[in-house]
Structure 1
Amino acid sequence: MNIKKLLVLIALTLPSWLLAQNYADYKLYASYNFEQGTAEDNLSNTSMELKGARIVDDPVRGKVLSFDRVKSQYAVITPAPVIGDTLSLSFWYKRSSFDSDGAWKQIFEFYSSTNGSNIYLMPMYENTSSSAIVCDAKSFNEGVWETLYGSQIEKNNTWHHIALVVAGVSWNYYLDGKKVGSRKILSLISLLDLTHLYFGVNPDRSPYPSTGSID
């Protein structure tokens, strides 16, 4: 697997005995590579729009996607690359600055424009020593808020590999190749009706922009 790419891996159909397996069990659905200075994907019908976000040269990873919270820069993939209830989202991330006011706190966010449900990653969860992937299923059972905790993403200007793997109600969170969080989430992702995948900030929701880069 070429981990220089932003990978969205979808397993369209898996028997129950495969649900907890590794990346080899997933079908590559969308893959974004910035090396040509663009954000094109030829595998699916998704598209990435750069809303102020820029493709820049990084000394470690080559061309990467960069966004600045002061300018509210972001990128968005539509439609959200989600099919069914099995998903793996994998990418490299580098935070450029730590903002004590918490305004940097969201790296990515799956979002539903129909009901406001979302899934997002907070590098530091509410001033604790943990990071967290939050599932806020507003469309399910009058609202379900569940959190998948992991180790805090601490260092500025350091690349980290992040992966979220979902198989039905089983969620796993990986940081730098290690599983740092695992739990059962009550809501299936198909019930969230996710329409967008944002990086940097979601302009349709609370203003929590971040400054950093993804690859």
Structure 2
Amino acid sequence: MKVLLVNGSARVHGNTATALQQIAQALETEGIDTQIFQLGAGAYRDCIACNRCSDLDGHCVFDDDPVNEFLNLAAQADGFVFGTPVYYAHPSGRILSLLDRAFYAGSAAFAHKPGASIAVARRAGTCASVDVLNKYFTINQMPVVSSTYWNVAFGGAPEEALQDAEGMATMRNLGRNMAWMLKCIETGRAAGITVPEPERERTNFIR
């Protein structure tokens, strides 16, 4: 089993990376493989709802940034952790652009797989950011993994989040809970339990 962790920060060694590394270490201790997908400082296009992805086997029509690379990795992953820094009381623009396009184009790569989101800030905006990221899970039939507190940590300077003892414990507990849920799902699958078939209805509020 493997968990794909997404660092929504442009900084490779910032506090978001520090928090994700705590989760990854806890997962690996439980026998779960991990990979951290670093978004980097490059530009990411927004989703323009062109629907061309419907003809491209779950990939985005734009191929000049790492979104399709991420979708290829997501298809092979068993669980996800989305991490973001907080600049203006919401997730980073780059992680939102990535996830909007990834979930629009390749929702099948995520469905019924456990997901968790974390946010790291100097001071405020973490809970609002986690709430935004959790909506990607709840629209796509994904179990949401929780911890022993809100999935947040605090720190300004690089690696300062390590001084947030409660935040780091929250990250490690999140990793353990993710591992437990993945093992439960694997056991259920081996016992013949399959995912439910969803009903499909679509309405507009103006009708």
TM norm structure 2: 0.32
TM norm structure 1: 0.31
Q: Which has the higher strand share?
A: 1
Which structure has the bigger radius of gyration? 2
Q: Which has the higher helix share?
A: 2
